[in-house]
Structure 1
């Protein structure tokens, strides 16, 4: 075949022969006609008239459109004869191999005669799910046209609902706007893609995605801030017995099927699911494959068990099995169900058990009876279950169910209770005293009322119910104005109301707002409502990198609060306890826990509370023994990897909420993560919902300015500080000597060298110390960047030095974050920009200032970090404007990182206070350094 193709590439597409006569000057085109169900190729002439089937023609490019190489009759010609009929069109769905020849042809046109081109690069097909109120509208887009075409999405304007705006020529080729795009193969079901453009309600999202991933491959899915994760863990089915019917002669029809916990059997069977998608608490769409059982082997084993109960060998032959369906006469079915039910319930899930009443097997709905009174830490009392008038203690019914999987009633009936109901009983009534009394926590009351389907009565529950109902009325409450030097945005005022409500009711909670929404200012606002009435101090614990940012924020927003930073070597706990707010770090709490454990705090607040996600670390254990009347956590990523992190957080906030870690794992973690148990996940969500407030940027866009700027301050490590001071003093002396000997104008080069090296030490000391001195600024950048990525943001990071890109690249690799990188030496900038703009998995772009300043459109990002402050403020603005420009619909959050007590901090002051000197230092006119005075040198290097 390759030899023929080589020959045809040399031919000229100008000569056509008919009936042995040569006709020149005529050219054949291949028209692509799209329809609802298929796409066709039709050979036509310049007037768009179909070419008759007996034409011969000589062609270079068009020769490669042959239906198969066998149709070549001569080396230099071929017959247009599709399917040996008079029809001149060819179905692409029936002949998809033609497309690989078609895309090399230059004579392609549409039905109007307009030319069709072929995009040179492989493109990406994306499914974009956009929320409009309670509805979700799906749209498919081609995401690699160029750096500016696919970046916008406007569900109302650009795309029509319930419609594909392109044609699928095959599972690997897409026709859009007269351009053919090559995509990764999306599978044999590509013709059904249009079915997935139908609008649906938000509560159907998991079902929609499950069907989509079962039918369609290699399509990137984008929804809100969620990321898609394909799990290595399969969902293992449970063998189930579906009781289909019982005939008039009591013949039992029983089918063996596979069922999956949390998935309706008819849903799995109707759509022939192979994948299941679920939304996790940490904003991921987790896709798992459905595993299968050796169903034939299980069928054979089940048949052997059934026929054991046949009264005779003849009766054994009457048990009929075909396609996993058992037809069992009454004489065998009765003994089988009577004696095998316990073992069946341990091995199989029963479906349709309500049909077994004639065999004294009855599904029943229990009635929970409960009587509780207030205890010291728990509500205590009695609980029992009633089944059709027969009463059982909670201990009796749980014990019998766990042993037999059914409840034996006194009238001979065997009660089948829904397994999820029994699991809920175990979750709630987890504690018992020596007298068998049940103990439940305040946090279980909503689920108890849900189980009994009515409000709990009695004075013991009145206050608790009022607390829960109070959350629903917070929006109506008027907030007492905090004494803040800040204009609160509406959502920040609502956040302060929520925190204060928890505080007033002695409850702990986690403010889990997205980064940049002002968790710090909301917390400070609450503190201004508490002090000076309260005498005991508030302890705020944070990573070391945030200490000075908290100092600055408190000084800026609430200077009336007295603050002590308990951190340095001369820290004094007695002095600290005299202040209203104490700032400290997780490391200091861990190291000084004996000192801290003796103190009585009014409030303990954990910032970046994911630092206590591991229940076994010394840091977590230290925070748990802190004595405080009130507790609050702040975190943009409260759950990063698994549900145990959630347990650790609430163990600190509300210790009685979940019991022991083993209890939590057996009742929540296992069922949710191992069994994909939706009921248990819903129960957990309901339980924590009132105590976690999370707003994403998209939720409060109307309250945000177009651009938010924030400066993060970083303290040098002792080693970095010593290194910096040695080099600063060296250059300070050298510059003064040079000025004295040669004048200020000739000292410019030494001055530039000094500034350059000191900037590197302030940001990337690793690059000048063979990696021995680590950068605290890089630690802060990494932590903040990972939080942004975890919350679904796309991030730009601008550097001045290549060494910073290299160091951060290593950290992103270690954390499994996909990123793109661009420097001055990068050649193929277009493909890198396209990948960052259009690939949902590529979350971060690393770039030098010089690269980012010109000709790039990076509107996919909504968060930018300036790692080293740029002395030319206009250059910094130009870099940020790569994001914040026409086409950007998100609000842009910009962070500048400044190392304290270094030249970076002085340059920032210089920008604000001495604009003329600043321009002299960094301006293009080198003669401007003559404006430097002795005082200026002392300010910069002193």
Structure 2
């Protein structure tokens, strides 16, 4: 048995061109690239290619040479027509790179030395707007520039070459990246310019071909986990009618924002679902129905019109099937269109309907006609839809479509109407009395899109002055109230926008980025009306902002008298003798019965995301307040869910969206469940006049770009053992709980597991009675010490109170002055002022929950 073991490892005789050399030359390993990939060349000291025998060398070089020799021997009898040069590419034999890493001398094609980096890299797809379209035929088309960049140590490197799925060569270093997949050598193709209309197709193609790719596009977030698959939509394409009057119908599937047939041409398994409202790009797995099943569905309906009653096929009326293409003779096509197509349109999308004119299918686009009179916040009257010279009431068109998927015209022809158009009519127009329709004032711009220009101008002449007025603001010279500050141009335009809403007794949300001066713009607006205005203004905010508002008013307009309704200082009668009343959401909720009896000039919600839950007590309380005007301030008007938008505008303009059920039916379900691009665009256009949002990078161009640096910290051995011990404990118990109680009743335990493991990864001291120290805090304190020595001030946000205490202890040891704020901190304004004004105070420590909302 021992002899058998040695036989297995005995070296075989050398049969190749590699032979021992009498003279052992120093070797250099060269990484080379061609159109097919990266490969290795072996050079002597004179730079000549050589093929030495591995037996003459030792160490890593010996292992590399031996592997190369074995591969050449194995492949010597194989003819590879795709690789006639017989190169050993590193993406085919990636283990060779591990040998190369430890070789003494590694060089590139220009004889420069190559090293292997220790820090991992990350490939990121960067997409930016391009002002120069470069397209003569489409001069107004917005275009984007896209390129894949390498991020290493917080810095971008653009000049890199891909070695294999996990390694790139950049600036003389081999960098390891997350595995990008077998299509790695096609990544450079994604450095291109594209029309913004093609972004969904481009990203879907990129994400389907490149694994672990991060995307940077404007302020969008890439969501790769927790997303639902997307089911491709079946569709029928009427391609043509030939000289024999035969109709060509193709069965295929389509994804939103892609062309019909796109899925047939490209192998997609990931779809980039872009949501411009929530500023997310959700990566969704593409699910397709078996094409043969869809073809069979259509085929069975066609068969009904080609078989006699006795079950024998007609001698005439034969049709042809070639894969997913049907060729229907005229008589079969007619029966199919009139009797079967309406049923198919319930599940199939339709393309090419304009080719069906000879089958008495109306090809006239629907045209909306309105005759409306003005109400308080709506218009009411008659609405009809015309197809050529045929005219029907709007309500009849909607009813017919919902019953039979087409509209029967008086001349006997059928009008095939786009479902998107019908659903838009349903959202915009409500049935009123005696077959009249009602249109909300807030939907006028959307209805205007459905009307011809001259008709729209005549119909909405009285109401459209409000909407067109926004376009005139930039041309007007601002005449603002006097405050003790010089407003930036964008702040002047913000105040003009607020005054325009005020003039028309409409309400909006100022949603500028944090730090752009929402408070200053609001104070400037109010300074226009006070002290003449007799009604007080109520400003509701989180507790942490009470003193901030006081200081800002004292700074910009000390002539405004304020009252802080808080703690024991809660005399509403006295408060109403002041111009501005400051209070918190909690106190407003508790004292709503007092507040609802008063009338206010303005009710202003700062950090208005506090009413994002439509069922919360705070959200219910604010809608009970009586005010002539309303205003919301928030840097994040929508944080997680579209229903937050409904809650915001229920406070601002209650008539905008109707009831919760109406909003859910018209917008929430189509957007969050189906990501309907038409509904998304419609909603954006509807809220656009009432929500003003500017970002720092767009209005403060003199600011430097934000630099993000990620430091990867290895766990200590003790921390890793502790983490693994608790992970295995929770894994076993979670599996048992789910088996016994189900996932629904085990969610709290799962959350507890995640929270504890997160704590161990961040602050193991808290879970080990201080026995295990955090490497993260050690690295953080080093960074803070260096920055403090260079005179910088720093903000540090933490998730856990234990981290706050531990960092504070370490800063004390280093002699670094700091302030610390948590949920139990009382005099927060004093801490903010000390950090801002005391040059010796270098660090502000705070919990995320305490420091996140609006502190300036």
Q: TM-score range by the shorter chain?
A: 0.7 to 0.9
Partner of 1:60: 59
Partner of 1:852: 784
Shift in alpha-carbon separation, 1:373–1:818, aligned structure 2, 3 A: farther
Q: Within 1, Cα distance between the matches of 2:60 and 2:358?
A: 76
Q: Within 2, Cα distance between the matches of 1:339 and 1:427?
A: 29
Shift in alpha-carbon separation, 1:105–1:910, aligned structure 2, 3 A: closer
Deviation (angstroms), 1:852: 1.6
State the secondary structure of the residue aligned to 1:115. coil
Partner of 1:241: 236
Q: Within 1, Cα distance between the matches of 2:222 and 2:606?
A: 28
Shift in alpha-carbon separation, 1:69–1:470, aligned structure 2, 3 A: same
Deviation (angstroms), 1:301: 3.1
TM-score, normalised on structure 1?
0.72
Q: Within 2, Cα distance between the matches of 1:358 and 1:416?
A: 14
Alignment check: 8 A CA contact 1:280 1:286 kept: no
Partner of 2:499: 500
Deviation (angstroms), 1:896: 8.2
Task: Render the CA deviation track for 1:860-900: whole Å, top value 9, x for unaligned.
Answer: x99756989999999999899xxxxxxxxxxxxx9988987
Deviation (angstroms), 1:704: 5.7
Shift in alpha-carbon separation, 1:847–1:642, aligned structure 2, 3 A: farther
Q: Could you say which structure has the greater relative contact order, defined with CA pairs below 8 angstroms and 6 or more residues apart?
A: 1
Q: Within 1, Cα distance between the matches of 2:654 and 2:166?
A: 55
Partner of 1:648: 647
Do structure 1's residue 172 and structure 2's residue 166 form an aligned pair? yes
Task: Render the CA deviation track for 1:399-458: whole Å, top value 9, x for unaligned.
Answer: 0011111111222211111222112111111x2222222111221111112111315568
Partner of 1:638: 637
Partner of 1:119: 117
Q: Within 1, Cα distance between the matches of 2:516 and 2:227?
A: 35
Q: Within 1, Cα distance between the matches of 2:764 and 2:788?
A: 11
Deviation (angstroms), 1:309: 1.7
Partner of 2:39: 40
Alignment check: 8 A CA contact 2:180 2:213 kept: yes
Deviation (angstroms), 1:475: 1.9
Q: Within 2, Cα distance between the matches of 1:323 and 1:343?
A: 22
State the secondary structure of the residue aligned to 1:143. strand
Do structure 1's residue 425 and structure 2's residue 425 form an aligned pair? yes
State the secondary structure of the residue aligned to 1:482. coil
Deviation (angstroms), 1:901: 6.3
Partner of 1:573: 572
Shift in alpha-carbon separation, 1:911–1:267, aligned structure 2, 3 A: closer
Task: Render the CA deviation track for 1:39-84: whole Å, top value 9, x for unaligned.
Answer: 23222222121115889744431233368588289xxxx9997979
Q: Within 1, Cα distance between the matches of 2:436 and 2:503?
A: 31
Do structure 1's residue 289 and structure 2's residue 285 form an aligned pair? yes
Q: Within 2, Cα distance between the matches of 1:848 and 1:378?
A: 58
State the secondary structure of the residue aligned to 2:427. helix
Partner of 2:247: 252
Partner of 2:601: 602
Q: Within 2, Cα distance between the matches of 1:289 and 1:871?
A: 48
Deviation (angstroms), 1:257: 1.0
State the secondary structure of the residue aligned to 1:668. helix
Partner of 1:721: none
Do structure 1's residue 671 and structure 2's residue 670 form an aligned pair? yes
Task: Render the CA deviation track for 1:521-553: whole Å, top value 9, x for unaligned.
Answer: 211111111211211111111122222222222
Partner of 2:327: 327
State the secondary structure of the residue aligned to 1:567. coil
Deviation (angstroms), 1:600: 1.2
Alignment check: 8 A CA contact 1:309 1:332 kept: yes
Deviation (angstroms), 1:168: 0.8
Q: Within 2, Cα distance between the matches of 1:260 and 1:40?
A: 40
Q: Within 1, Cα distance between the matches of 2:553 and 2:752?
A: 35
Do structure 1's residue 110 and structure 2's residue 104 form an aligned pair? no
Task: Render the CA deviation track for 1:824-869: whole Å, top value 9, x for unaligned.
Answer: 999996xx6xxxxxxxxxxxx998656621379999x997569899
Partner of 1:306: 302
Task: Render the CA deviation track for 1:13-55: whole Å, top value 9, x for unaligned.
Answer: xxxx999764234133332112344323222222121115889
Which runs of no fewer than 5 residues in structure 1 stay unpaired?
Answer: 9-16, 160-164, 708-808, 833-844, 881-893, 923-942
After alignment, is 563-572 or 59-68 more displaced? 59-68
Do structure 1's residue 365 and structure 2's residue 362 form an aligned pair? no
Task: Render the CA deviation track for 1:282-318: whole Å, top value 9, x for unaligned.
Answer: 3222222222113322322332222122143223993
Shift in alpha-carbon separation, 1:198–1:411, aligned structure 2, 3 A: same
Alignment check: 8 A CA contact 1:363 1:417 kept: no
Q: Within 2, Cα distance between the matches of 1:445 and 1:574?
A: 42
Shift in alpha-carbon separation, 1:661–1:828, aligned structure 2, 3 A: closer
Partner of 2:742: none
After alignment, is 678-687 or 271-280 more displaced? 271-280
Deviation (angstroms), 1:367: 1.0
Alignment check: 8 A CA contact 2:508 2:630 kept: yes
Alignment check: 8 A CA contact 2:201 2:258 kept: no
Q: Within 1, Cα distance between the matches of 2:201 and 2:264?
A: 13
After alignment, is 659-668 or 680-689 more displaced? 659-668
Q: Within 2, Cα distance between the matches of 1:23 and 1:170?
A: 36
Q: 1:217 aligns with which of 188, 211, 233?
A: 211
Partner of 2:386: 386
Alignment check: 8 A CA contact 1:564 1:582 kept: yes
Q: Within 1, Cα distance between the matches of 2:625 and 2:267?
A: 54
Deviation (angstroms), 1:243: 1.8
Alignment check: 8 A CA contact 2:478 2:492 kept: yes
After alignment, is 642-651 or 193-202 more displaced? 193-202
Q: Within 2, Cα distance between the matches of 1:846 and 1:407?
A: 72
Deviation (angstroms), 1:209: 1.9
Deviation (angstroms), 1:910: 12
Shift in alpha-carbon separation, 1:448–1:399, aligned structure 2, 3 A: same
Task: Render the CA deviation track for 1:368-417: whole Å, top value 9, x for unaligned.
Answer: 11011111231111110111211101110000011111111222211111
Alignment check: 8 A CA contact 1:567 1:585 kept: yes
Shift in alpha-carbon separation, 1:48–1:527, aligned structure 2, 3 A: same
Partner of 2:733: none
Alignment check: 8 A CA contact 2:21 2:53 kept: no
Shift in alpha-carbon separation, 1:814–1:572, aligned structure 2, 3 A: farther
Task: Render the CA deviation track for 1:674-717: whole Å, top value 9, x for unaligned.
Answer: 2221111111111111111111121122366999xxxxxxxxxx
Q: Within 1, Cα distance between the matches of 2:43 and 2:797?
A: 57
Q: Within 2, Cα distance between the matches of 1:80 and 1:513?
A: 64
State the secondary structure of the residue aligned to 2:251. strand
Q: 1:264 aligns with which of 230, 247, 259?
A: 259
Q: Within 1, Cα distance between the matches of 2:364 and 2:7?
A: 75
Task: Render the CA deviation track for 1:189-240: whole Å, top value 9, x for unaligned.
Answer: 1111111111335554433322211221112222333221125212222221
State the secondary structure of the residue aligned to 1:702. coil
Alignment check: 8 A CA contact 1:589 1:622 kept: yes
State the secondary structure of the residue aligned to 1:650. helix
Shift in alpha-carbon separation, 1:816–1:539, aligned structure 2, 3 A: farther
What is the aligned-residue RMSD (CA, Å)?
4.4
Which runs of no fewer than 5 residues in structure 2 stay unpaired?
Answer: 132-141, 707-750, 799-803, 844-856
Do structure 1's residue 138 and structure 2's residue 146 form an aligned pair? yes
Deviation (angstroms), 1:351: 1.7
Deviation (angstroms), 1:511: 0.7
After alignment, is 327-336 or 496-505 more displaced? 327-336
Alignment check: 8 A CA contact 1:233 1:288 kept: yes
Deviation (angstroms), 1:269: 3.7
State the secondary structure of the residue aligned to 2:342. helix
Do structure 1's residue 181 and structure 2's residue 113 form an aligned pair? no
Question: How many correspondences in the alignment?
Answer: 761
Alignment check: 8 A CA contact 1:206 1:279 kept: no
State the secondary structure of the residue aligned to 1:479. coil
Q: Within 2, Cα distance between the matches of 1:330 and 1:461?
A: 47
Deviation (angstroms), 1:814: 10
